[in-house]
Amino acid sequence: MDESLSPATVSHGPLDWSYAESKESSSIVTIPAEQGLYIGGEFVPARSEATYPSVNPATEGHLGAVAEGGAEDADLAVRAARSAYETTWRDMPGKERGKYLYRIARLLQERSREFAVLETMDGGKPIKESRDFDLPTSAAHFFYYAGWADKLGYAFPGVDPRPLGVAGQVVPWNFPMLMLSWKVAPALATGNTVVLKPSTTTPLTALEFARLTREAGLPDGVFNVLTGHGDAGAALVAHPDVNKVAFTGSTEVGRIIQRAIAGTDKKATLELGGKAAHIIMDDAPIDQAVEGIVNGIFFNQGHVCCAGSRLLVQESIAEVVVERLKRRLDTLRVGDPLDKNTDLGAINSADQLDKIKELVGAGTAEGAEIYQPACRLPEKGWWFPPTLFTEVSQSHRIAQEEIFGPVLSIMTFRTPDEAIEKANNTPYGLSAGVWTSKGSRILWMADRLKAGVVWSNTYNQFDPTSPFGGYKESGFGREGGRHGLLPYMQGVGL
């Protein structure tokens, strides 16, 4: 601005405005000092009486002890689920089952704030995400499947769909409540009973959910929680009286599960890893694409199986996109997950942090160029700054392996064909994103991308009515929508 134009007497300079810390209170939740397994409507200690602490990844503080279940406990839980299946749940009219699910959904809405705080404390994700995404979407899943409970005959006309029996469900630590909802809601709606194994590091919301089902009056044994480590999950999956296995987690564990159930008549759905391509064409709405990229990789610290972790930018606009991306990264707020202004929270566990560090180290060693904004990380807890890699080659480990952290690998392409070739050049096939202003190109690309979900001009959008699941080593089976009922039903033609 011209000197002569500047206002005469406004003496104040620009306001250097940083947001003050604005913490969501944790006093809303009460975490019992010790929590048992939830079996047959009762909280019971593990047969071994062993417990382990659940840890807040942002502080490394303990959040009470939970039972360390084992094979014997898995057996008890499956028995309880079988008994509930045969005595109450299987033969209950769909309309009645639906009422319980509606009640659960409403209770989840009512207690949403409490669950959100608990989810954030136990898992490290920012409160704005647990509050605005995880919990509302969880409740939405229960509402949605509650509606199906008495309409299953219409979902599959000409078939008399029947439940399978006991479902053993193993969920991961990145979206503990949401993954619980994705699995429990359709299982219960279709008349199955459930034994849920939450992740070792994030058992608290599942246990609180168990109390919520009690509040909803859900018959004992219809929903059971088996906390513990991998061996508990393995015992559950291998249990001969489990009819259906549903797993979300790593491809490595997915393989173990496949082996364990080979030769049995167990039905399975596996939702595994991903290394999604996020494609930016030269005619993309650039500033919104940059927001989409940020949301795609830094949502939930990148602990997202469908995270847009491989950015493919058309070479002619790569410089501009990278520059804008760096500028945007500088404004991301990393820190206390309970602070309502936090964009990136804590890394879920020390193990996960090690894994991220190892892969980032490999990226640098392989010659990729790293960019991290200057941001001060808290001293306690597990943290990793938002990270970009440029000069990445398709052959680098950071372009092939799932990092599951806030790390974006940026590559370029020249033509749409090359974009498709690079995008599909991965053993995974869970999701992909395309940014372009050309409608015809979106359809052309969606046809050719080998991914279960293709987002166009947006990323990480979820809705209970929309099926979600992978291709290739990202697993099989669909969760959500009418498709999400199928894996829990049997009948002629199903």
Partner 1 sequence: MRSPVLVESLPVPVTDRALRAYLGAVPLVDDVAVHQRVASLATRSIKRESKRAALELAIRMTDLTTLEGQDTPGKVRQLASKAIRPDPSDPSIPHVGALCVYPAMVHHAAPVLAGTGVHLAAVATYFPSGQATGESRVADVREAITAGADEIDMVIDRGAFLAGDYMKVFEDIVATKEACGGAHLKVILETGELGTYDNVRKASMLAMAAGADFIKTSTGKVAPAATREVTLVMFEAIRDFHDLTGRMVGMKPAGGIRVAKDAIRYLVLLHETLGTGWMTPDYFRFGASSLLNDLLMQIRWLDTGRYQSADYFSKD
Positions that interact with partner 1 (CB under 8 A): 1-2, 4-10, 12-22, 128, 132, 283-289, 291-292, 331, 340-341, 435, 437, 457-458
Nearer to partner 1, 21 or 463 (CB): 21
CB atoms within 10 A of CB 1: 6
- 291 catalytic, yes or no? no
Which CB sits closer to partner 1, 5 or 262?
Answer: 5
Q: Which two tokens stand for residue 261?
A: 């159930």
Three-class HEC string of the chain: CCHHHCCCCCCCCCCCCCCCCCECCHHHCCCCCEECEEECCEEECCCCCCEEEEECCCCCCEEEEEECECHHHHHHHHHHHHHHHHHHHCCCCHHHHHHHHHHHHHHHHHCHHHHHHHHHHHHCCCHHHHHHHHHHHHHHHHHHHHHHCCCHHHHCCCCCCEECCEEEEECCCCCHHHHHHHHHHHHHHCCCEEEEECCCCCCHHHHHHHHHHHHCCCCCCCEEECCECHHHHHHHHHCCCCCEEEEECCHHHHHHHHHHHCCCCCEEEEECCCCCEEEECCCCCHHHHHHHHHHHHHHHHHCCCCCCCEEEEEHHHHHHHHHHHHHHHCCCCECCCCECCCCECCCCCHHHHHHHHHHHHHHHHCCCEEECCCCCCCCCCCCCCCEEEECCCCCCHHHHCCCCCCEEEEEEECCHHHHHHHHHCCCCCCEEEEECCCHHHHHHHHHHCCCCEEEECCCCCCCCCCCECCCHHHEECCECCHHHHHHHEECCCC
Minimum CB separation from partner 1 for residue 8, in Å?
A: 5
Nearer to partner 1, 160 or 287 (CB): 287
271 catalytic per annotation: yes
Nearer to partner 1 among residue 288 and residue 393 (C-beta): 288
Cβ proximity to partner 1: between 209 and 298 the closer is 298
* Residue whose pair of structure tokens reads 């000069």 in the numeric block: 391
Q: Least distance to partner 1 from the beta carbon of 386, Å?
A: 15
CB of 109 to partner 1, least distance (A): 18
Least Cβ distance, residue 466 to partner 1 (angstroms): 16
Nearest CA among 322, 277, 314 for reference residue 297: 277
Least distance between partner 1 and beta carbon 164 (Å): 39
- Whichever of 150 and 282 has its CB closer to partner 1, that residue is 282
What is d(CA 149, CA 95) in angstroms, rounded to the nearest whole number? 6
Kindly tell me which of 8 and 374 has the beta carbon lying closer to partner 1: 8
Cβ distance to partner 1 smaller for residue 4 or 30: 4
Query: Which is the catalytic residue, given 68, 271, 401, 479?
Result: 271
Residue closer to partner 1, measured from CB, 6 or 395: 6
Q: How far is the CB of 133 from partner 1 (least distance, A)?
A: 10
Which residue has tokens 């279960």?
452
CB of 424 to partner 1, least distance (A): 25
305, 401, 402, 479: the catalytic one is 305
CB of 156 to partner 1, least distance (A): 34
d(CA 494, CA 486): 7
User: 10 Å Cβ neighbour count for 392?
Assistant: 23
The set of residues, in sequence order, having a beta carbon less than 8 Å from that of 477 and lying 6+ positions away, is: 246, 268, 269, 270, 271, 469, 487
Q: How far is the CB of 473 from partner 1 (least distance, A)?
A: 30
Active site residues: 271, 305
